[in-house]
Amino acid sequence: MDQRTGVLNMKYDVLIIGGGPGGYTAAFEAVNTKMKTCLIEEREVGGTCLNRGCIPTKTLVHTADFYRDLADEAHTAIHAENISVDHAALLNKKNTIVSQLREGIEKALKAGKIDVIKGHAVIEDNQTVCVNDELIEAENIIIAAGSEPARIPVEGYDLPGVITSDDILSELPACESMVIVGGGVIGCEMAGIYEALGTKVTVLEAMDRLLPNLESELGRSLALVFKKRGIDVHAKSFLKSISKEEEHLVVSYEEKNELKETPCSLVLMAAGRKANTGLFKNEKPAVERGRLVIDEHYMTSMEHIYAIGDCAGGYPQLAHTAMAMAVNVISFITGKEAKRDLNVIPSGVYTSPEIASAGISEAQAKEAGIETVSGKVNTLANARGLIASKERGFIKVVAEKHTGKLIGTFMMCERATDLIQEAALAIEKGMTVSEVLRVIHGHPTFIESFVSALEAAEKKLG
Protein backbone atom coordinates (compact mmCIF):
# COMPACT_ATOMS: atom_id res chain seq x y z
CA MET A 1 0.00 0.00 0.00
CA ASP A 2 1.27 3.47 -0.88
CA GLN A 3 1.93 5.27 2.41
CA ARG A 4 2.67 8.67 0.89
CA THR A 5 0.52 11.57 1.99
CA GLY A 6 -0.35 12.57 -1.55
CA VAL A 7 0.08 15.59 -3.75
CA LEU A 8 1.19 18.79 -2.04
CA ASN A 9 -1.06 21.80 -2.13
CA MET A 10 1.24 23.65 -4.51
CA LYS A 11 1.94 23.01 -8.14
CA TYR A 12 5.10 24.59 -9.49
CA ASP A 13 5.89 26.08 -12.85
CA VAL A 14 9.45 24.77 -12.55
CA LEU A 15 10.85 22.06 -10.30
CA ILE A 16 14.63 21.68 -10.28
CA ILE A 17 16.45 18.60 -9.02
CA GLY A 18 19.94 19.50 -7.86
CA GLY A 19 21.24 22.61 -6.11
CA GLY A 20 24.61 22.96 -7.82
CA PRO A 21 25.64 25.75 -10.23
CA GLY A 22 23.17 24.60 -12.88
CA GLY A 23 20.33 24.09 -10.44
CA TYR A 24 20.54 27.31 -8.47
CA THR A 25 21.20 29.36 -11.62
CA ALA A 26 18.06 27.89 -13.20
CA ALA A 27 16.12 28.71 -10.03
CA PHE A 28 17.24 32.35 -10.07
CA GLU A 29 16.41 32.66 -13.77
CA ALA A 30 13.00 31.08 -13.26
CA VAL A 31 11.91 33.41 -10.44
CA ASN A 32 13.13 36.38 -12.47
CA THR A 33 10.51 35.41 -15.05
CA LYS A 34 7.83 35.20 -12.30
CA MET A 35 7.61 31.40 -12.36
CA LYS A 36 6.80 29.57 -9.14
CA THR A 37 9.95 27.59 -8.47
CA CYS A 38 11.01 24.68 -6.28
CA LEU A 39 14.57 23.42 -5.81
CA ILE A 40 15.27 19.95 -4.41
CA GLU A 41 18.76 19.16 -3.09
CA GLU A 42 19.75 15.93 -1.35
CA ARG A 43 22.97 17.25 0.17
CA GLU A 44 24.30 20.83 0.40
CA VAL A 45 23.27 23.73 -1.79
CA GLY A 46 26.16 24.59 -4.10
CA GLY A 47 26.62 21.07 -5.39
CA THR A 48 29.91 19.35 -6.11
CA CYS A 49 31.60 22.48 -7.44
CA LEU A 50 31.24 24.49 -4.25
CA ASN A 51 31.37 21.74 -1.64
CA ARG A 52 33.57 18.96 -3.08
CA GLY A 53 35.09 20.30 -6.30
CA CYS A 54 36.09 23.59 -7.87
CA ILE A 55 36.18 25.84 -4.81
CA PRO A 56 37.88 23.49 -2.31
CA THR A 57 40.45 22.56 -4.96
CA LYS A 58 41.31 26.17 -5.75
CA THR A 59 41.68 26.92 -2.05
CA LEU A 60 44.25 24.14 -1.81
CA VAL A 61 45.96 25.25 -5.03
CA HIS A 62 46.36 28.78 -3.66
CA THR A 63 48.13 27.53 -0.53
CA ALA A 64 50.19 24.92 -2.39
CA ASP A 65 51.48 27.47 -4.91
CA PHE A 66 52.33 29.96 -2.15
CA TYR A 67 54.16 27.27 -0.19
CA ARG A 68 56.08 26.15 -3.29
CA ASP A 69 57.17 29.73 -3.98
CA LEU A 70 58.24 30.35 -0.38
CA ALA A 71 60.35 27.22 -0.47
CA ASP A 72 62.14 28.46 -3.61
CA GLU A 73 64.44 31.17 -2.29
CA ALA A 74 66.20 31.57 -5.65
CA HIS A 75 62.91 32.48 -7.33
CA THR A 76 61.30 34.65 -4.66
CA ALA A 77 64.41 36.19 -3.04
CA ILE A 78 62.72 35.47 0.30
CA HIS A 79 64.70 33.59 2.94
CA ALA A 80 62.22 31.56 4.97
CA GLU A 81 63.18 28.97 7.56
CA ASN A 82 61.19 26.15 9.12
CA ILE A 83 58.08 26.74 7.04
CA SER A 84 55.45 24.02 6.98
CA VAL A 85 51.83 23.47 6.05
CA ASP A 86 49.31 23.01 8.84
CA HIS A 87 46.85 20.54 7.33
CA ALA A 88 44.25 21.14 10.03
CA ALA A 89 44.40 24.90 9.52
CA LEU A 90 44.24 24.48 5.74
CA LEU A 91 41.19 22.23 6.08
CA ASN A 92 39.57 24.83 8.33
CA LYS A 93 40.34 27.58 5.81
CA LYS A 94 38.74 25.52 3.05
CA ASN A 95 35.66 24.82 5.15
CA THR A 96 35.29 28.49 6.10
CA ILE A 97 35.42 29.63 2.47
CA VAL A 98 32.96 26.96 1.36
CA SER A 99 30.55 27.77 4.20
CA GLN A 100 30.65 31.50 3.47
CA LEU A 101 29.90 31.00 -0.22
CA ARG A 102 27.19 28.41 0.49
CA GLU A 103 25.48 30.76 2.95
CA GLY A 104 25.45 33.43 0.25
CA ILE A 105 23.60 31.11 -2.14
CA GLU A 106 21.15 30.05 0.58
CA LYS A 107 20.35 33.67 1.41
CA ALA A 108 19.83 34.48 -2.28
CA LEU A 109 17.45 31.52 -2.67
CA LYS A 110 15.50 32.66 0.38
CA ALA A 111 15.38 36.26 -0.84
CA GLY A 112 14.06 35.04 -4.19
CA LYS A 113 11.24 33.17 -2.44
CA ILE A 114 12.40 29.90 -3.99
CA ASP A 115 11.07 26.85 -2.14
CA VAL A 116 14.08 24.71 -1.22
CA ILE A 117 13.40 21.12 -0.14
CA LYS A 118 16.14 18.88 1.27
CA GLY A 119 15.66 15.28 0.25
CA HIS A 120 16.10 12.60 -2.41
CA ALA A 121 13.97 13.18 -5.50
CA VAL A 122 12.38 10.36 -7.50
CA ILE A 123 10.65 11.20 -10.78
CA GLU A 124 7.30 9.40 -10.89
CA ASP A 125 6.25 10.70 -14.30
CA ASN A 126 7.00 13.66 -16.52
CA GLN A 127 5.23 16.12 -14.22
CA THR A 128 5.40 14.49 -10.79
CA VAL A 129 8.29 14.10 -8.35
CA CYS A 130 8.34 12.29 -5.01
CA VAL A 131 10.52 13.70 -2.23
CA ASN A 132 10.38 12.78 1.46
CA ASP A 133 7.29 10.63 0.72
CA GLU A 134 5.43 13.63 -0.68
CA LEU A 135 4.33 14.08 -4.28
CA ILE A 136 5.00 17.39 -5.98
CA GLU A 137 3.57 18.41 -9.33
CA ALA A 138 5.32 20.71 -11.78
CA GLU A 139 4.68 21.94 -15.29
CA ASN A 140 8.40 21.55 -16.08
CA ILE A 141 11.10 19.46 -14.41
CA ILE A 142 14.78 20.34 -14.80
CA ILE A 143 17.32 17.68 -13.86
CA ALA A 144 20.56 19.25 -12.65
CA ALA A 145 21.66 16.28 -10.56
CA GLY A 146 25.35 16.48 -11.44
CA SER A 147 27.79 13.59 -11.21
CA GLU A 148 29.88 11.63 -8.74
CA PRO A 149 33.43 10.25 -8.81
CA ALA A 150 33.85 7.01 -10.73
CA ARG A 151 35.87 4.08 -9.39
CA ILE A 152 37.64 1.47 -11.50
CA PRO A 153 36.26 -1.86 -10.19
CA VAL A 154 39.53 -3.76 -9.84
CA GLU A 155 40.47 -6.02 -6.95
CA GLY A 156 41.03 -3.87 -3.87
CA TYR A 157 39.27 -0.76 -5.17
CA ASP A 158 37.27 -0.53 -1.93
CA LEU A 159 40.15 -0.98 0.52
CA PRO A 160 40.67 1.64 3.25
CA GLY A 161 43.00 4.28 1.85
CA VAL A 162 41.57 4.07 -1.67
CA ILE A 163 39.76 7.39 -1.94
CA THR A 164 38.02 9.70 -4.40
CA SER A 165 38.17 13.45 -4.92
CA ASP A 166 35.13 13.75 -2.61
CA ASP A 167 37.09 12.10 0.19
CA ILE A 168 40.30 13.99 -0.31
CA LEU A 169 38.58 17.38 -0.43
CA SER A 170 36.53 16.59 2.66
CA GLU A 171 39.38 15.33 4.81
CA LEU A 172 42.64 16.60 3.22
CA PRO A 173 44.63 13.62 4.50
CA ALA A 174 48.38 14.07 4.91
CA CYS A 175 50.45 11.24 3.46
CA GLU A 176 54.00 10.34 2.49
CA SER A 177 53.13 8.90 -0.90
CA MET A 178 50.15 8.78 -3.22
CA VAL A 179 49.25 7.00 -6.45
CA ILE A 180 46.73 8.90 -8.54
CA VAL A 181 44.77 6.76 -10.99
CA GLY A 182 43.84 9.09 -13.84
CA GLY A 183 45.77 11.95 -15.41
CA GLY A 184 42.81 14.12 -16.31
CA VAL A 185 41.94 17.49 -14.80
CA ILE A 186 41.21 16.23 -11.27
CA GLY A 187 44.24 13.94 -11.20
CA CYS A 188 46.64 16.61 -12.44
CA GLU A 189 45.36 19.27 -10.06
CA MET A 190 45.67 16.91 -7.09
CA ALA A 191 49.13 15.80 -8.21
CA GLY A 192 50.31 19.41 -8.22
CA ILE A 193 48.77 20.17 -4.83
CA TYR A 194 50.13 17.12 -3.02
CA GLU A 195 53.59 17.36 -4.58
CA ALA A 196 53.85 20.95 -3.33
CA LEU A 197 52.81 19.81 0.16
CA GLY A 198 55.64 17.27 0.25
CA THR A 199 53.99 14.04 -0.88
CA LYS A 200 55.69 11.66 -3.29
CA VAL A 201 53.20 11.42 -6.17
CA THR A 202 52.80 8.86 -8.96
CA VAL A 203 50.25 9.36 -11.75
CA LEU A 204 48.88 6.49 -13.85
CA GLU A 205 47.11 7.47 -17.08
CA ALA A 206 45.63 4.94 -19.50
CA MET A 207 45.89 7.22 -22.53
CA ASP A 208 49.14 8.30 -24.19
CA ARG A 209 49.47 11.60 -22.28
CA LEU A 210 48.18 13.65 -19.39
CA LEU A 211 44.99 15.65 -20.01
CA PRO A 212 44.03 13.45 -22.99
CA ASN A 213 40.86 15.44 -23.72
CA LEU A 214 42.80 18.66 -24.32
CA GLU A 215 45.14 19.80 -27.10
CA SER A 216 48.05 17.35 -27.14
CA GLU A 217 50.87 19.81 -26.44
CA LEU A 218 49.27 20.90 -23.16
CA GLY A 219 49.40 17.46 -21.55
CA ARG A 220 52.87 16.66 -22.84
CA SER A 221 54.23 19.99 -21.59
CA LEU A 222 52.66 19.51 -18.17
CA ALA A 223 54.25 16.05 -17.92
CA LEU A 224 57.68 17.66 -18.35
CA VAL A 225 56.94 20.10 -15.51
CA PHE A 226 55.70 17.27 -13.30
CA LYS A 227 58.76 15.12 -13.95
CA LYS A 228 61.03 18.07 -13.18
CA ARG A 229 59.33 18.35 -9.79
CA GLY A 230 59.68 14.67 -9.03
CA ILE A 231 56.19 13.47 -9.93
CA ASP A 232 56.33 10.06 -11.62
CA VAL A 233 54.10 10.07 -14.70
CA HIS A 234 53.20 6.79 -16.39
CA ALA A 235 51.20 7.09 -19.62
CA LYS A 236 49.60 4.08 -21.30
CA SER A 237 49.46 2.45 -17.88
CA PHE A 238 46.51 0.35 -16.74
CA LEU A 239 45.47 -0.29 -13.15
CA LYS A 240 45.21 -4.01 -12.42
CA SER A 241 44.73 -4.35 -8.67
CA ILE A 242 45.28 -2.78 -5.26
CA SER A 243 46.38 -4.77 -2.22
CA LYS A 244 47.27 -4.14 1.41
CA GLU A 245 50.74 -5.08 2.67
CA GLU A 246 51.57 -4.21 6.26
CA GLU A 247 51.21 -0.40 6.55
CA HIS A 248 51.11 0.33 2.83
CA LEU A 249 48.89 -0.14 -0.17
CA VAL A 250 50.46 -1.73 -3.23
CA VAL A 251 49.24 -0.68 -6.67
CA SER A 252 49.72 -3.14 -9.52
CA TYR A 253 49.58 -1.77 -13.05
CA GLU A 254 50.51 -2.77 -16.57
CA GLU A 255 52.91 -0.61 -18.57
CA LYS A 256 54.43 -1.61 -21.90
CA ASN A 257 53.09 -5.16 -21.45
CA GLU A 258 54.95 -5.47 -18.14
CA LEU A 259 53.26 -5.84 -14.75
CA LYS A 260 54.67 -3.37 -12.24
CA GLU A 261 54.03 -2.49 -8.61
CA THR A 262 54.43 0.62 -6.51
CA PRO A 263 53.77 1.01 -2.77
CA CYS A 264 51.99 4.07 -1.40
CA SER A 265 50.11 5.49 1.56
CA LEU A 266 46.97 6.48 -0.37
CA VAL A 267 45.40 5.77 -3.75
CA LEU A 268 43.30 8.50 -5.33
CA MET A 269 40.77 7.33 -7.89
CA ALA A 270 40.56 10.19 -10.39
CA ALA A 271 39.31 8.26 -13.41
CA GLY A 272 36.44 10.51 -14.38
CA ARG A 273 32.93 11.11 -13.12
CA LYS A 274 29.65 9.20 -13.41
CA ALA A 275 26.48 11.15 -14.20
CA ASN A 276 23.59 10.90 -11.76
CA THR A 277 20.77 9.65 -13.96
CA GLY A 278 19.04 7.08 -11.72
CA LEU A 279 16.19 9.34 -10.65
CA PHE A 280 13.31 7.67 -12.47
CA LYS A 281 10.82 5.26 -10.92
CA ASN A 282 8.84 4.17 -13.95
CA GLU A 283 9.44 5.44 -17.49
CA LYS A 284 13.07 6.25 -18.14
CA PRO A 285 14.41 8.69 -20.74
CA ALA A 286 17.08 7.85 -23.29
CA VAL A 287 20.63 7.57 -21.96
CA GLU A 288 23.78 7.49 -24.08
CA ARG A 289 27.27 6.85 -22.73
CA GLY A 290 25.93 7.21 -19.22
CA ARG A 291 24.37 10.65 -19.70
CA LEU A 292 20.83 11.80 -20.51
CA VAL A 293 20.16 12.43 -24.19
CA ILE A 294 18.83 15.94 -24.79
CA ASP A 295 17.66 17.90 -27.82
CA GLU A 296 18.60 21.44 -28.85
CA HIS A 297 16.33 22.80 -26.11
CA TYR A 298 17.84 20.47 -23.46
CA MET A 299 14.63 18.40 -23.29
CA THR A 300 15.07 14.70 -22.65
CA SER A 301 13.10 12.05 -24.52
CA MET A 302 10.34 12.61 -21.94
CA GLU A 303 8.21 15.69 -22.58
CA HIS A 304 8.41 18.42 -19.89
CA ILE A 305 11.65 16.98 -18.47
CA TYR A 306 14.90 18.82 -19.21
CA ALA A 307 18.50 18.05 -18.25
CA ILE A 308 21.46 20.38 -17.80
CA GLY A 309 25.02 20.14 -16.51
CA ASP A 310 27.05 17.01 -15.84
CA CYS A 311 24.12 14.60 -16.20
CA ALA A 312 23.25 15.87 -19.70
CA GLY A 313 25.10 14.55 -22.73
CA GLY A 314 26.83 16.50 -25.46
CA TYR A 315 28.53 19.18 -23.38
CA PRO A 316 31.68 19.42 -21.21
CA GLN A 317 31.17 18.61 -17.53
CA LEU A 318 32.02 22.09 -16.28
CA ALA A 319 30.26 24.32 -13.76
CA HIS A 320 30.12 27.29 -16.13
CA THR A 321 28.65 25.07 -18.84
CA ALA A 322 25.87 24.05 -16.45
CA MET A 323 25.21 27.69 -15.55
CA ALA A 324 24.96 28.70 -19.22
CA MET A 325 22.62 25.79 -19.93
CA ALA A 326 20.52 26.86 -16.93
CA VAL A 327 20.04 30.34 -18.36
CA ASN A 328 19.12 28.91 -21.75
CA VAL A 329 16.70 26.25 -20.51
CA ILE A 330 14.56 28.87 -18.76
CA SER A 331 14.58 30.90 -21.97
CA PHE A 332 13.40 27.83 -23.89
CA ILE A 333 10.67 27.05 -21.35
CA THR A 334 9.37 30.62 -21.59
CA GLY A 335 9.40 30.55 -25.38
CA LYS A 336 12.42 32.79 -25.86
CA GLU A 337 15.72 32.40 -27.67
CA ALA A 338 18.89 31.24 -25.95
CA LYS A 339 20.84 33.94 -24.12
CA ARG A 340 24.11 32.02 -23.99
CA ASP A 341 26.24 30.65 -26.85
CA LEU A 342 27.69 27.27 -25.95
CA ASN A 343 29.72 26.89 -29.14
CA VAL A 344 32.82 28.31 -27.45
CA ILE A 345 33.34 27.08 -23.89
CA PRO A 346 36.65 27.97 -22.23
CA SER A 347 38.19 25.37 -19.95
CA GLY A 348 40.88 25.60 -17.30
CA VAL A 349 43.19 23.33 -15.33
CA TYR A 350 44.48 24.79 -12.07
CA THR A 351 47.93 23.30 -12.07
CA SER A 352 51.12 25.35 -11.76
CA PRO A 353 51.49 26.75 -14.34
CA GLU A 354 47.80 26.97 -15.20
CA ILE A 355 46.39 25.50 -18.40
CA ALA A 356 43.48 26.88 -20.41
CA SER A 357 41.91 26.46 -23.82
CA ALA A 358 39.11 27.78 -26.01
CA GLY A 359 38.02 26.85 -29.51
CA ILE A 360 39.43 24.06 -31.66
CA SER A 361 42.97 22.76 -32.12
CA GLU A 362 44.95 22.35 -35.33
CA ALA A 363 44.18 18.62 -35.29
CA GLN A 364 40.44 19.22 -34.88
CA ALA A 365 40.50 21.83 -37.64
CA LYS A 366 42.26 19.39 -39.96
CA GLU A 367 39.59 16.76 -39.29
CA ALA A 368 36.97 19.36 -40.21
CA GLY A 369 38.80 20.23 -43.44
CA ILE A 370 39.87 23.69 -42.24
CA GLU A 371 43.30 24.91 -43.31
CA THR A 372 45.04 26.78 -40.50
CA VAL A 373 48.03 28.81 -39.45
CA SER A 374 49.28 29.11 -35.89
CA GLY A 375 51.36 31.41 -33.76
CA LYS A 376 53.17 30.34 -30.61
CA VAL A 377 55.28 32.19 -28.04
CA ASN A 378 57.30 31.31 -24.95
CA THR A 379 55.74 33.17 -22.02
CA LEU A 380 59.12 33.59 -20.30
CA ALA A 381 59.84 36.14 -23.05
CA ASN A 382 57.13 38.27 -21.45
CA ALA A 383 58.27 40.54 -18.60
CA ARG A 384 55.41 39.68 -16.24
CA GLY A 385 55.69 36.01 -17.12
CA LEU A 386 59.40 35.98 -16.31
CA ILE A 387 58.84 37.80 -13.01
CA ALA A 388 56.04 35.50 -11.90
CA SER A 389 57.24 32.07 -13.00
CA LYS A 390 60.38 30.09 -13.53
CA GLU A 391 58.57 27.46 -15.59
CA ARG A 392 58.63 27.70 -19.35
CA GLY A 393 55.09 28.20 -20.58
CA PHE A 394 53.51 28.97 -23.91
CA ILE A 395 50.51 30.48 -25.65
CA LYS A 396 49.44 29.16 -29.03
CA VAL A 397 46.74 30.59 -31.27
CA VAL A 398 45.13 28.89 -34.27
CA ALA A 399 43.57 30.86 -37.12
CA GLU A 400 41.65 29.85 -40.21
CA LYS A 401 44.00 30.52 -43.14
CA HIS A 402 41.30 31.55 -45.62
CA THR A 403 39.52 34.11 -43.42
CA GLY A 404 42.10 34.99 -40.77
CA LYS A 405 39.55 34.27 -38.04
CA LEU A 406 40.83 33.18 -34.66
CA ILE A 407 39.42 29.69 -34.02
CA GLY A 408 41.50 28.34 -31.13
CA THR A 409 43.78 29.38 -28.28
CA PHE A 410 45.79 27.17 -25.93
CA MET A 411 47.80 28.32 -22.92
CA MET A 412 50.10 26.92 -20.27
CA CYS A 413 51.30 29.87 -18.22
CA GLU A 414 50.67 32.06 -15.22
CA ARG A 415 47.02 33.18 -14.99
CA ALA A 416 46.02 31.21 -18.07
CA THR A 417 42.51 30.59 -16.71
CA ASP A 418 41.91 34.35 -16.67
CA LEU A 419 43.76 35.20 -19.89
CA ILE A 420 41.74 32.69 -21.91
CA GLN A 421 38.58 34.76 -21.54
CA GLU A 422 39.69 37.37 -24.09
CA ALA A 423 40.46 34.62 -26.58
CA ALA A 424 37.06 32.99 -25.98
CA LEU A 425 35.31 36.31 -26.59
CA ALA A 426 37.22 36.90 -29.82
CA ILE A 427 36.49 33.38 -31.09
CA GLU A 428 32.79 33.61 -30.20
CA LYS A 429 32.50 36.94 -32.01
CA GLY A 430 34.22 35.57 -35.11
CA MET A 431 37.01 38.14 -34.93
CA THR A 432 40.04 37.92 -37.17
CA VAL A 433 43.56 37.97 -35.81
CA SER A 434 44.02 41.48 -37.19
CA GLU A 435 40.82 42.70 -35.53
CA VAL A 436 41.96 41.46 -32.12
CA LEU A 437 45.33 43.14 -32.64
CA ARG A 438 43.64 46.51 -33.17
CA VAL A 439 42.89 46.58 -29.45
CA ILE A 440 45.66 48.25 -27.42
CA HIS A 441 46.86 46.06 -24.57
CA GLY A 442 48.64 47.46 -21.52
CA HIS A 443 52.33 47.02 -20.75
CA PRO A 444 53.72 45.22 -18.84
CA THR A 445 50.93 42.64 -18.65
CA PHE A 446 50.55 38.87 -18.95
CA ILE A 447 48.12 39.29 -21.86
CA GLU A 448 50.95 40.63 -24.04
CA SER A 449 52.03 37.03 -24.65
CA PHE A 450 48.64 36.44 -26.27
CA VAL A 451 49.26 39.52 -28.42
CA SER A 452 52.69 38.19 -29.42
CA ALA A 453 51.17 34.85 -30.44
CA LEU A 454 48.58 36.68 -32.54
CA GLU A 455 51.34 38.71 -34.20
CA ALA A 456 53.21 35.50 -35.03
CA ALA A 457 50.07 34.09 -36.65
CA GLU A 458 49.37 37.34 -38.53
CA LYS A 459 52.77 37.13 -40.23
CA LYS A 460 51.84 33.72 -41.62
CA LEU A 461 48.49 34.99 -42.83
CA GLY A 462 50.25 37.55 -45.02
Determine, yes or no, domain membership for 295.
yes
Note whether 183 and 202 are same-domain residues. yes
Note whether 304 and 195 are same-domain residues. no
Note whether 222 and 77 are same-domain residues. no
Note whether 378 and 437 are same-domain residues. yes
Q: How far is Cα 451 from Cα 397, in angstroms, rounded to an integer?
A: 10
Please tell me the predicted confidence (pLDDT) of residue 8. 55
Note whether 251 and 286 are same-domain residues. no
Q: Domain span at residue 99? A: 7-149+274-333
Determine, yes or no, domain membership for 212.
yes
Determine, yes or no, domain membership for 345.
no
Note whether 311 and 406 are same-domain residues. no
- What letter would DSSP give residue 350? -
Note whether 139 and 280 are same-domain residues. yes
Determine, yes or no, domain membership for 156.
no
CA 252 to chain centre: 28
% of the chain exceeding 90 in pLDDT: 90
76 vs 131, which has greater pLDDT? 131
Domain boundary among 224, 247, 271: 271
Note the pTM of the prediction, 2 decimals.
0.93
Q: Is 117 helix (H, G, I), strand (E, B) or coil?
A: strand
Please tell me the predicted confidence (pLDDT) of residue 2. 45
- What is the number of structural domains in the chain? 3
Residue 9 confidence (pLDDT) above 60: no
Residues acting as catalytic residues: 443
Determine, yes or no, domain membership for 434.
yes
Note whether 185 and 292 are same-domain residues. no
Determine, yes or no, domain membership for 300.
yes
Please tell me the predicted confidence (pLDDT) of residue 224. 97
Strands 266-269 and 162-164, sheet pairing:
parallel
Domain boundary among 271, 297, 320: 271
Q: Is 318 helix (H, G, I), strand (E, B) or coil?
A: coil
Domain boundary among 271, 291, 311: 271
What are 333-346's pLDDT values in tens digits? 999 999 999 999 99
Give the model's confidence band at 77: pLDDT under 50 very low, under 70 low, under 90 confident, else very high. Answer: confident
Note whether 313 and 376 are same-domain residues. no
What are 177-216's pLDDT values in tens digits? 999 999 999 999 999 999 999 999 999 999 999 999 999 9
Strands 162-164 and 354-359, sheet pairing:
unpaired
Determine, yes or no, domain membership for 339.
no
CATH code of the domain containing 435: 3.30.390.30
Please tell me the predicted confidence (pLDDT) of residue 269. 97
Q: How far is Cα 71 from Cα 197, in angstroms, rounded to an integer?
A: 11
Note whether 252 and 283 are same-domain residues. no
Q: How far is Cα 26 from Cα 119, in angstroms, rounded to an integer?
A: 19
For residue 450, which of 393, 405, 402, 400 has the smallest C-alpha distance? Answer: 393
CATH code of the domain containing 203: 3.50.50.60
What are 422-452's pLDDT values in tens digits? 999 999 999 999 999 999 999 999 999 999 9
Note whether 291 and 314 are same-domain residues. yes
Note whether 440 and 405 are same-domain residues. yes
What are 214-224's pLDDT values in tens digits? 999 999 999 99
Determine, yes or no, domain membership for 11.
yes
